[in-house]
Every structure is written in structure tokens, then in C-alpha cells.
Chain A
């Protein structure tokens, strides 16, 4: 067995010089410090993404993306297909855990200022992947074509429609017409299973390549320590094995959630039914949803929703562009404004999410 794998390695090595790569990986070290635990959340997000790809492909074998058949096909998957309930439940739960892991990953990178020069591109690709994650969540939510999803999609696309000038064409493009119909379902299905995964894969490859190339960032206060006090561990195999251990833990959490809290299917969407009481979006949109409830219809001369979209747009843009306005961190100086801004954002999101959860 050993000799066979050796032969295979030699055969490939002979042609593409694997030795260089192995040497590079052998020299890669991961810093050990009090913030090391945060390094694992990127890997956990990656693991959950892989689970999404696998379970997503499995669901594709039975799912039918049309207004008349979508709900029934998911019902079929859950009721008739062996382990169909499990695969669908895992796909739904892993989607939520992915957003959670990506959030933790993002905030840890933000507060340790790992986005600073020279890792701006890694931060940007990560942020676009998180936005794509929201896109995956929003488009995937509609696919079962149930009541909650139908109204969530109406509201979500209508919000896009309030953006001045470009809003209306975006709304029509997303909905495939003026209203949320089967045409919207077809478009969301295409985005969810083809467009988003395609773009995501390219970004992910860039993101991982950069991490391998530049290595893990160290928090500012530790990066300036002399070499002899800085501890490291080899990436291969020490860090990788720890990564795998975390993946195993996440897989167990996922299995428990998927089995003991199976994802509901709800009622089939009806364009001529009232929005059900207690309707709420997924938890990661809750803070924005709750804000929309508080903004009055008109603030001075601006419509309430326009103001909401504008504020979140500006806030989001500031957040994404942090490596470019936070020059101090790149120079290795402390920048408390970044911390205060970040803490403000975290408190705001937590508070509004809890309020949205309770009301």
C-alpha cells in the first residue's frame, strides 16, 4: 500500500514537481497566541460550505423549481425519499451555521485588525463571500415556495426597489416581472444553484490562496514582539489536525440540530392570502427588519424605507472598506475608532436582533 502511494506520488512528482509544494507547506507555521481560537472559524465556514455543496447537489436530484411543483417536491423529499428529511434539514441548518461561523470569522478579523495591509484583498473577497452568503440564504429561502418565503421575498425585493433610480430595474430583474411569481422562483433557483456557487468558488479559491501565500495574520500588539517570545506551530500536520477536530465537533452539532430540530416546511405559498401574523425573516436579517419597523413613514422629506436602505448601505460600505480608511493599523499603530465603531455595530445588531426575536 505504502509503496503504491509512493509510486503514485513519484509519478505525479515527476511531472508537476510536487516536492516544491510539500516543502512550502512544511515551512508554513501558524502563530500561537491568546487569539488563536479565532483562526479556526474560517476553516469551519469552509467546512460548512462544503456540506452545503454536497447536500445541495443531493437535493437537486429531486427538487423541481416551478411554482406548481416546488412545494410538493420538497414535501416528497421529506416524506418519501430515504433520509430526505435529514438531507434537507442538514442543508437548512448548515446554511444558518455557515452565516454564524462567517460572522464570527469576520468580527474576529475585524477586531484583531487582520484586514490591515497586506491582507486587504483577503478581507474584500471574504466580505463579498459573506454578501453572497446572504444571497444564498435569501434565494434558497424562497425555493420551498411556502407562505413565509413568499412574503419574505416580496418584502426583500421591494426593499431593493426603493433604492432611487436603479431600484425599479433591479426589482423587475430579481422578480422576473412586477410581482413575485413563478418567474421569481425560476430566477432565484438559477442564482442559488449556478450563479452564486460559480462566483463563490472563484472568490473562495482566491481567499484560500492568499491565506496560504501570506500566512495567518497576528494581532497588532503581538506582531511587534521579538521573535524568541513568539510561539508557532506547523500548519501541517499540527494545525490541520486541530482544524479537522473542530470540523468533527461542528458536524456533531449539525447532526444534533438536524435530527432533533428538523426544519419545517410550512404552508404552501398563496398569492391571495394575507401575510401570516408573526412573520419574520431569518435571524441574520432580523436587525434590519426590526429597524424598518421603527423608522416612521417619512423622515423630513425622505421616505422611511429609503432612509433605512441608505443608512444600511453607507454603514455596510464603511465596514467593507475598513482596510482603506484605517491607515493607522496598517502602520502598526492602535486605532481605537475602529474598535468603537465595531463595538457599536455589534451592540446594535445584537440589541435589534433580540428585540426582533421577542416581538
Chain B
């Protein structure tokens, strides 16, 4: 061991070794961290693209009422206004992702989480919601209510 101290260290050689060990360590860290981070990212699951759903019978839906309809994986709110007119909007509050409901007493769409309100055209009228609700198209075919994307 003592012998090695007598040999003058070549600075170039030492720097090269430092660089080599440093890069190898960095490569090792990356090769461990990369699979872990990739694992944490949930894989995209093929979702069936839904363009239209059957929401129920018109004769069974009371005037001045609302209901949540399953539209693929998303909730849609279907409202039958007091005058019998049907409207459908995205059921997800634009504020923080809660599901809205129709409030007869307000005559508007309401979110229980932070007291946000939308009128029956889907526009945000009070409370924290920053954007209006997206509207869906409602079609009636022989008493069946169909909801589809786009207005």
C-alpha cells in the first residue's frame, strides 16, 4: 500500500476516473428512477367513445325536474324545465369537479360543494365557477330521450 504513495498521481487520469464514476452513478440513478416514475404514471385505458346515450322516457320525467345521466364515464345533467323544454349539460362543475344538481327552488343548476350556480342555459351566474357548463344536444324519438354531444 505504501508503495502507491510514491507513484505521482497523474491529474488527468484522476479527473477521468472521477468523471467516469460520476457518470456511472448518474446513469445508475436514472436507470433506477426512470422505471419507478414510469410505473407511477397510470396507463391510458382505452375508453369507448360515447357519442349518444338513451336517458329515459319523456313521459316519465316530471316538468321542473332534473336528473344525472351516465354519459360514458362522465355525468350529464338532464333538465326538464317548467315549460316542458329539455336541456342537457355536462354535470361536472367547472370549479372543482363536483357533480351539480337541479334546484327547483332556485330554478337553476347548483353545485353543493362551493355554492356555485348556473342558469338554465348553463352559464355560470354566481359563486366560484369560472366557466359555463358545456351543453349537450337533446333529441326525442317516440317518447325516448336521447342525449348526444354538441349542440
Contacts and interface: CB of A to CB of B under 8 A. Distances in A.
Interface of A: 151, 154-155, 157-159, 172-173, 176-177, 179, 183, 271-279, 289, 292-293, 295-298, 303-305
A275 B91 CA distance: 10
A272 B75 contact: yes
Given A298-B130, A305-B128, A276 B112 contact: yes
A154 B96 CA distance: 7
Nearest to B129: A297
Contact of A273 (B93, B96, B99, B114): B99
Centre residue among B77, B98, B113 by max chain A CB count within 10 A: B113
Nearest to B67: A274
Contacts of A183: 42
A292 B41 contact: no
Contact of B98 (A151, A297, A304): A151
Interface string B57-93: 0000000000011100101010000000000000101
A303 B131 CA distance: 11
Contacts of A297: 95, 124, 127-130
Contacts of A151: 98-99, 112-113
B113 A273 contact: no
Nearest to A162: B96
Given A154-B98, A172-B41, A293-B128, 7 more contacts: A154-B97, A172-B42, A274-B112, A275-B98, A275-B111, A296-B128, A297-B128
Given A155-B113, A274-B68, A177 B42 contact: yes
Q: Which of B73, B77, B96 has the most CB of A within 10 A?
A: B96
A154 B100 CA distance: 13
Contacts of B69: 272
A176 B42 CA distance: 5
A285 to B, nearest CB: 13
B39 to A, nearest CB: 11
Interface in B114-128: 114-115, 124, 127-128
B144 to A, nearest CB: 19
B73 A279 contact: no
A279 B45 CA distance: 31
B49 to A, nearest CB: 15
The 4 closest A-B pairs by CB, nearest first: A274-B101, A275-B98, A297-B130, A275-B112
B29 interface: no
B98 A155 contact: yes
A313 B91 CA distance: 30
B96 A155 contact: yes
A119 B95 CA distance: 42
A181 to B, nearest CB: 8
Given A274-B91, A279-B112, A297-B124, A159 B96 contact: yes
B93 to A, nearest CB: 8
B112 A292 contact: no
A277 B98 CA distance: 12
Contacts of A298: 130
5 contacts: A173-B40, A272-B68, A279-B113, A295-B128, A296-B128
B134 to A, nearest CB: 16
Contacts of B124: 297
Name which of B99, B100, B124, B127 has the most chain A CB atoms within 10 A of its CB: B99
A195 to B, nearest CB: 12
B70 A272 contact: yes
> Of residues A275, A289, A303, which shows the largest number of chain B Cβ atoms within 10 Å of its Cβ?
A275
A278 B75 CA distance: 20
Contacts of A293: 114-115, 127-128
